[in-house]
């Protein structure tokens, strides 16, 4: 399968807990004011690569504890990121995903702009392979440089397995 990406950082220390293989997916429809990464917005930008190539790279990365899907908006290429997440879990790696979407919408009520890119069923399937979802758009007025792993106070680090089991939002906490 092909995926359009902006970049890969094979050993990132800032895109989640531990050393992570960070995949910056190209294309984002949120247009957050003050976005830290506007070069990733263009759906025709970046480069097309095979998911298999990426999988081989992270499976052979000796130091990482997991992969991070970031961007851009990873969910706009839901089939490709699901394939990456499944491969990571099969290799014993954890999966973090950043999204400009809000978790409650992803599990129950997609807005019209999100519906252009993915369905609730696709998201539900994808989230089975996600450990931590960092959700919400970047809101400039809530920017906070002191937060770990996110940029504005509205954004949340969500423990997806626990949230799914208990059917309410459960924040992720470092082990
Ligand atoms: S969701 Fe992320 S990449 Fe997209 S506009 Fe907002 S901050 Fe930028």
Contact call for residues 101 and 135 (beta carbons, < 8 A): yes
Q: Which long-range contacts (CB under 8 A, 24 or more apart) does 123-130 make?
A: 123/75, 123/78, 125/82, 126/75, 126/78, 126/81, 126/82, 126/85, 127/160, 127/164, 129/82, 129/85, 129/86, 129/88, 129/89, 129/95, 130/85, 130/95, 130/96, 130/97, 130/160
Average pLDDT over residues 26-32: 97
Q: Give residue 35 CA to ligand 1 midpoint distance, Å.
A: 5
Q: Give residue 40 CA to ligand 1 midpoint distance, Å.
A: 8
Q: Give residue 137 CA to ligand 1 midpoint distance, Å.
A: 6
Atom of ligand 1 nearest to the CA of 28: 4
pLDDT of 98 strictly over 90:
yes
Rounded to 5°, the CA angle 134-38-127 comes to 25
pLDDT of 168 strictly over 90:
no
pLDDT band at 35; cut points 50, 70, 90: very high
Q: Give residue 32 CA to ligand 1 midpoint distance, Å.
A: 5
Among the ranges given (14-18, 36-40, 113-117, 167-171), the one the predictor scored with the smallest mean pLDDT: 167-171
Q: Where are the chain's structural domains?
A: 2-166
Q: Which phi and psi (to 5°) does residue 90 adopt?
A: -60, -25
pLDDT one-digit tens code per residue, 64-93 = 999 999 999 999 999 999 999 999 999 999
Average pLDDT over residues 102-122: 96
Q: Give residue 36 CA to ligand 1 midpoint distance, Å.
A: 7
Atom of ligand 1 nearest to the CA of 29: 4
Q: Give residue 100 CA to ligand 1 midpoint distance, Å.
A: 6
Q: To test ligand 1's pocket by mutation, which of 35, 40, 70, 71 has the most ligand atoms within 8 angstroms of CB?
A: 35
Q: Whose CA is nearest to atom 1 of ligand 1?
A: 100
Domain 2-166: give its CATH code.
3.20.20.70
Residue 153: the pLDDT is 97
Atom of ligand 1 nearest to the CA of 30: 5
């Amino acid at each position: 399968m092909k995926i359009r990406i902006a970049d890969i950082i094979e050993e990132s220390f800032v895109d989640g807990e531990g050393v992570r293989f960070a995949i910056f997916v190209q294309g984002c429809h949120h247009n957050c004011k003050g976005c830290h990464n506007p070069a990733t917005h263009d759906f025709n930008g970046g480069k097309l690569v095979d998911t298999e190539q990426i999988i081989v790279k992270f499976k052979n990365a000796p130091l990482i504890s997991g992969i991070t899907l970031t961007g851009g908006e990873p969910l706009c290429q839901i089939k490709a990121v699901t394939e990456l997440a499944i491969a990571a879990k099969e290799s014993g790696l954890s999966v973090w995903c950043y999204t400009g979407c809000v978790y409650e919408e992803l599990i129950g009520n997609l807005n019209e702009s999100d519906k252009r890119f993915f369905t609730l069923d696709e998201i539900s399937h994808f989230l089975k392979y996600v450990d931590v979802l960092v959700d919400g758009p970047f809101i400039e007025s809530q920017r906070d440089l002191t937060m770990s792993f996110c940029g504005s106070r509205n954004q949340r680090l969500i423990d997806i397995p626990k949230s799914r089991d208990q059917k309410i939002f459960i924040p992720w906490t470092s082990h």
